[in-house]
Amino acid sequence: MDGGTLPGATDDANDDAERVVLHVDMDCFYASCERLRDEDLRGEPVVVGMGYEPGETIGAVATASYEARAFDVNSADPISKALRNLPRRADADPDDPDAPDPEETAHYRPVDMAFYKSIAADVKEVLHDCAEVVREVSVDEAYLDVTGRTSWDAAGAGAAEAGAESGAAADPSASAAAGPAERRTLAEGYARYVRDRIEREAGVPASVGVAPNMSAAKIASDFDKPEGLVVVPPGRVREFLAPLPTEEVHGVGPVTARTLADMGIETAGDLAAADPADLEAELGERGRELHERARGEDDREVTPTGLPKSLSRESSLPPTDDAETKRERVRALAADVARRARERECLYRTIGVKVVTPPYDVNTRARSLPGPVDDPELVEEVALDLLEEFADEKARKLGVRVSKLDFAESDQSTLGGFEGNAASDDENAGGEDDAPDDVQDDVPHEPPGEAITDWVGREPGAEEGTNDADDADGAGGTRAARNREGQASLGEFDAE
């Protein structure tokens, strides 16, 4: 295709440079839905979750608006932490000197799945109308292959000539998107069309990344939130990635990042320039793959999403051996995972926990049930029971997982049956963990026969090109600090 690479650009190593991939990521989806039906919430801190009503102590944050994140309230946080950092607006009384300052409070809303699903259906309708191939990572996130709808050809050349002749100061052919693109392309215009249609027809904002491959498009969509549009044209992917920290490269988690740092590799550019043989010697076959990703090479095709084999959530915390703090976090994660399973109308046969102890030792425990169940109380009970083994140990990260999912209608095992007949699959697996620091997403298409120990060392969505960790900073942070959306999406909270 003529014009597939912009003038003056060098060729990417990507063999399929003409491919146009969009990554669409909804901005604080639950909060945006709440603002859609209550305009008074626009511009205000909004926390969507459960357990915040007076007298309730157990619950989790499904999502927090950017305004709430400025107060260190993030997705998957225990609701108790959210209330400490950002009390309810309903409790603010300007006439009561002991009441919280209204300027430091948030509007709390319960999770309303039926409403969110109705808005998500509107979003999906737009996405599937705009692309022949859509990969739904979750209800608030998807990849689109729009190669058949648009191209990397430059756009607006005639307008540029007319502007030059009229002495116009601005070049109408210059890119209006964030990122390394200098000239406006048809792909940029199409991505803007998709983003604008979502807001116009579904009423909620989205950020869109445009690139010649999945991993670059994902990073691009996180680059300029909220309501961002970032274009990374062919020939510019490696340049775009180069200054980013290695953690931005798909497949690089905290442990691998530390290993790379020990090798003097701090950025994606360093990783791209490293000797792949040295990387393979240190990291195995994955070292060469990460080297290719840092160079902008990713030949995966966008394919329709299959059913997940597991659902899990993780959350980091300051290293602590306080038993109740750990139990509180596990309760929140268990409630989150169980809700996700129920929202997806799936049963599960295995419940597990993950405990990461300092410096970064990974331990997992799991228990099999006699049959598939949908029982949030059981998820909490088993998770807390498995956690007891680590009651006296410090933990820096905790996770809860349900696996061996069953999406078919079937009889459920009862709690009594579990207590009387369940076989124990308690396991321990050590080693490095490359999941993001805050929240682990589910992993679609896990290989057959996967054991709970395979949870260790896998990047969330590793086969899908996703990297969905919650962001710890508010909208006012640096780009690197807020590049991960942190939405607890419908496909996950069920989550950034």
Strands (DSSP E) found in 261-360: 310-320, 348-357
Residue 226: is the preceding peptide bond cis (ω within 30°)? yes
Q: What does each C-alpha distance from 11 to 17, 183, 223, 243, 249 come to in angstroms?
A: 8, 16, 23, 19, 20
CA distance 177 to 184: 8
Q: Is residue 303 part of a domain?
A: no
CA distance 143 to 219: 12
| 347 shares its domain with 391 | yes
Q: Which amino acid is located at 427 in the chain?
A: E
Q: Is residue 468 part of a domain?
A: no
pLDDT for the residue 79: 92
Residue 410 domain boundaries: 310-455
What would you measure as the largest C-alpha separation in the chain, in angstroms?
84
Q: Is the pTM of this model over 0.85?
A: no
| 94 shares its domain with 127 | yes
Which positions ≥6 away from 466 have C-beta within 8 Å?
Answer: 137, 141, 218, 250, 441, 460
Tell me whether residue 75 is exposed, middle or buried, using C-beta atoms within 10 angstroms of its C-beta: 0 to 12, 13 to 18, 19 or more: buried
What are the tens digits of pLDDT across the range 9-63? Answer: 334 433 444 899 999 999 999 999 999 889 899 999 999 998 888 777 678 999 9
SS3 at position 208: strand
Cite the DSSP H helix spans in 320-440. 323-343, 376-387, 415-421
Which positions ≥6 away from 70 have C-beta within 8 Å?
Answer: 45, 473, 474, 475, 476
Q: Is residue 289 part of a domain?
A: yes
Classify 459 in phi/psi space as left (phi over 0), alpha (psi -120 to 50) or beta: beta
Which positions of the chain have pLDDT values less than 70? 1-17, 57, 156-170, 306-308, 408-496
| 9 shares its domain with 103 | yes
CATH number of the domain to which 328 belongs: 3.30.1490.100
Q: Is residue 284 part of a domain?
A: yes
Q: Other CB atoms closer than 10 Å to residue 240's CB: what's the count?
A: 22
pLDDT for the residue 114: 85
Which positions ≥6 away from 388 have C-beta within 8 Å?
Answer: none
Spot the catalytic one: 141, 292, 314, 380: 141
| 182 shares its domain with 280 | no
229, 259, 294 — which closes off a domain? 294
DSSP state of 462: T
What are the tens digits of pLDDT across the range 154-165? Answer: 986 544 444 444
CATH number of the domain to which 272 belongs: 1.10.150.20
Q: Which position has the token pair 């290695």? A: 246
Domain count of the fold of the chain: 3
| 258 shares its domain with 329 | no
Joined together, the tokens standing for residue 150 give: 């648009």
Q: Is residue 301 part of a domain?
A: no
Phi–psi pair at 34, nearest 5 degrees: -65, -40
pLDDT for the residue 170: 60
The C-alpha R_g of the chain, in whole angstroms, comes to 23
CATH number of the domain to which 209 belongs: 3.30.70.270
| 212 shares its domain with 282 | no
Among 364, 371, 313, which Cα is nearest to 496's? Answer: 313
Query: Which neighbouring-strand residues pair with 133?
Result: 145
Q: Reply yes or no on whether 419 is catalytic.
A: no
pLDDT for the residue 314: 81
| 199 shares its domain with 119 | yes
Q: Is residue 299 part of a domain?
A: no
| 278 shares its domain with 380 | no
Tell me whether residue 353 is exposed, middle or buried, using C-beta atoms within 10 angstroms of its C-beta: 0 to 12, 13 to 18, 19 or more: buried
| 177 shares its domain with 192 | yes
pLDDT for the residue 12: 42
pLDDT for the residue 57: 67
| 193 shares its domain with 317 | no
pLDDT for the residue 236: 94
pLDDT for the residue 458: 34
Phi–psi pair at 406, nearest 5 degrees: -130, 110
Kindly report the three-state secondary structure assignment for every residue of 81-147: HHHHHCCEHHHCCCCCCCCCCHHHCEEEEECCHHHHHHHHHHHHHHHHHHCCEEEEEECCEEEEECC
Q: Is residue 449 part of a domain?
A: yes
DSSP state of 185: B
Joined together, the tokens standing for residue 464 give: 């899908």
Joined together, the tokens standing for residue 337 give: 């995972």
| 146 shares its domain with 157 | yes
| 233 shares its domain with 256 | no
Residue 359: is the preceding peptide bond cis (ω within 30°)? yes
DSSP state of 18: T
Q: Is residue 202 part of a domain?
A: yes
Among 183, 197, 306, which Cα is nearest to 233's? Answer: 183
